[in-house]
Amino acid sequence: MTALPLADTAVFVRRFLADYWRNPVNLLVLVLVPVVFVVVAAGPMADAAKLLGGTGLSVETATAGWAAGFLAGIAMYFQTRAARAADRRLILAGLPAPRLVTARLLTGLALASLAAAAALFALATRSGIDEPGRVIAGTAMFAVVYLAIGALVGVLVRSPVNGTVLILFVWIVDVFFGPALGSPDRIETRWLPTHFVTLWMVDLPSRHGGRLGDLGWGLTWTLGALVIAALVVTATTRVAHARHRTRTGSVVDQVVAGLRMGLRDYRRNPVLWVLLIVVPVIFIWLSKVITPEQTTTLSLVEDGRPVTPTFWLPDVHAGTMTPIAIASLAALAGLFIVLDARTGDQRLALAGFRVPALLTARLGVVAAAVLLTTAASLVVTAAVFDAHQWGVFIAANLLLAATYALLGVCLGPIFGRVSGVFIAFLIPFLDLGIGQSPMLRTEPPAWAQALPGYGAYRVLLDGGLTDHFDETGPLLLGLAWLAVLGVLATVLFRSTSSQRSA
């Protein structure tokens, strides 16, 4: 079959976009997430950059690129991964693989352009843009780099939870340890995908770009990543994917059988367990490594009295970063483990499998993933942080993990797979990374106290940094959030499990 004309490629792009926009929530979230990220996170992240030896106000400019990059990566991952069966049929029907890959990449570029436009609009509204050409081009380069990363992960990683966690991990390392939030002169971070793009975008000459300069290296990363992604996607278009089956039981046996089969299914996915261990370990360890040697003041309660003690930042920073890693991965685990099993659960429910038994089994698999992540995080935390009350500190991390796991379970039925990932990324980042963070302010602002992590995080700080437990009120608030999310998860699970699958 000869190559199709460009007009036919445009038809495929329109059809792919129409498929994405068939769920209007996807389009809404693609615009809403970068706007919220830039508006809410820009200021606090600039403050964090000053604390960590970064570039301060230039971080606000970089947030547009960060938001566009993350959304482009996730959108392209699902473009590449979710349509594998349909794409294989198109290839078998005679469509040249390069044409199909071109259509997919152009679709991803269109989605990335929308996210970038929303981020730039938010940035212009919030603080203005001093050099529009540089900032717009830099944001576009961010989107293209992560578009390529999303495509590569989509080809190499079958499981959505694995792929999403891997993209999130790359993004976190790139952002939090890159030249804007951290020091621009670290040799170790020059291999990060947007190191030179960031430096050029925020107009911070690196003096280590050589003859190519920061712009030259940034363009090299951008074009090189896109070419490699296109080649890999083209070469692996015919990859197939596997199926799994389930079986029923009775009452208690149903719970045991469902849990056993759920764990067996995820036991066949060793990459997931490696990611659940490696991601928090590296994140917490790097948090310790990059922490500057200076003091910070926190607002706490000791023996029933408000106090504002001063701490040596390298001694406490890693401990306060632990819950961010745990909560983010817990939310994604809750989202995907229940969402991936929804079609099978609907069939099991029709075959007589009791919904409470199904829910218990799915939550058991979620709990196993969350406990593994929490344990790995706490082991590395214990090596770099000395909690005053280890029992309270561990319990608070488990409470946060359970809360965000249930939140992830709720997000799937409400938002679906793609939009659910965006929300599962945004809420813990704004809640724990921005709102509750003691590194940015001595106590959380009023809006942060209405978020699900407030109560458990105050208990965590109390257990980690004081000698006596004084946070009964926040503990009850955290348990109340857990109960409300548990009820909501049960209602949503019953509703989706009772629907006949298409």
pLDDT, tens digit (0-9, with 9 covering 90-100), for 433-467: 888 888 777 788 888 899 999 999 999 999 999 99
Q: What is the pLDDT of residue 207?
A: 67
pLDDT, tens only, 371-426: 888 888 888 888 888 899 999 999 999 999 999 999 999 988 888 877 888 888 88
My answer on whether 88 and 174 are in the same domain is: yes
Mean pLDDT of 61-65: 84
Tally of structural domains, the chain: 2
Q: Are residues 203 and 279 in the same domain?
A: no
pTM of the model: 0.71
Chain centroid to Cα 129, Å, comes to 27
Using the 3D structure, point to which of 220, 241, 262 is the last residue of a domain. 241
pLDDT at 452: 93
The per-residue pLDDT for 443 is 81
Do 343 and 403 have their domain in common? yes
Same domain, 475 and 465: yes
Is pLDDT larger for residue 193 or for residue 342? 193
Distance between CA 202 and CA 63 in Å, rounded?
Answer: 10
Same domain, 121 and 251: no
User: 10 Å Cβ neighbour count for 64?
Assistant: 32
pLDDT, tens digit (0-9, with 9 covering 90-100), for 206-248: 766 666 688 888 898 888 888 877 776 676 555 444 444 444 4
How sure is the predictor about 198, in pLDDT bands with cuts at 50, 70 and 90? confident
- pLDDT number for residue 249: 44
CA distances from 385 to 146, 302, 319 (A): 33, 20, 6
What is the distance between the alpha carbons of residues 490 and 368, in angstroms, rounded to a whole number?
Answer: 19
Are 395 and 466 in the same domain? yes
**End position of a domain, from candidates 241, 273, 289:** 241
- Pair (332, 385) in one structural domain: yes
Task: State yes or no: pLDDT of 114 exceeds 80.
Answer: yes
Query: Do residue 137 and residue 177 come from a single domain?
Result: yes
3-state secondary structure 193-230: CCHHHHHHHCCCCCCCCCCCHHHHHHHHHHHHHHHHHH
Looking at 241, 267, 294, the residue that finishes a domain is 241
Do residues 211 and 339 share a domain?
no
Q: Are residues 450 and 500 in the same domain?
A: yes
Same domain, 415 and 316: yes
Q: Is the pLDDT of residue 22 over 70?
A: no
* Structural domain range at position 367: 243-502
Kindly report the average pLDDT of the chain as a whole number: 78
413 and 365 in one domain?
Answer: yes
